[in-house]
């Protein structure tokens, strides 16, 4: 049996580019980065319909959206 750590699961999620909100809006992750002044990972993502760009901490993003797996 293969055992996955929380870090393994987080890293797997970070490789997924398409995400969806609870109301069905699709987003594409365009960047993951850690600002020099802190150790938190941040994400930049784009609304596929409007092309509006957003950014927030990865931890918050992963709670708001779920991976879109085709």
Q: What is the mean pLDDT of the chain?
A: 84
pLDDT at 53: 98
**What is the spatial distance between Cα 16 and Cα 20, in angstroms, rounded to a whole number?**
11
Quick check: is 46 in a domain? yes
Nearest CA-CA partner of 32 in 24, 20, 22, 40: 40
What is the total count of domains within the chain? 1
**What pTM was computed for the model?**
0.80
Model confidence over 25-54: pLDDT tens digits? 999 999 988 887 777 889 999 999 999 999
Quick check: is 57 in a domain? yes
> What domain range includes position 39?
27-65
Cβ(6)–Cβ(24) under 8 Å?
no
Other residues' Cβ atoms within 10 Å of the Cβ of residue 14: 15
**13: confidence class by pLDDT, cuts 50, 70, 90:** confident
């Amino acid at each position: 049996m293969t055992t996955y750590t929380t870090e393994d699961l987080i890293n797997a999620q970070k490789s997924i580019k398409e995400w969806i909100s609870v109301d069905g809006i699709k987003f594409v992750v365009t960047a993951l980065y850690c600002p020099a002044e802190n150790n938190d990972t941040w994400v930049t993502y784009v609304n596929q319909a409007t092309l509006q760009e957003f950014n927030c901490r990865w931890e918050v993003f992963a709670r708001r959206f779920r991976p879109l797996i085709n």
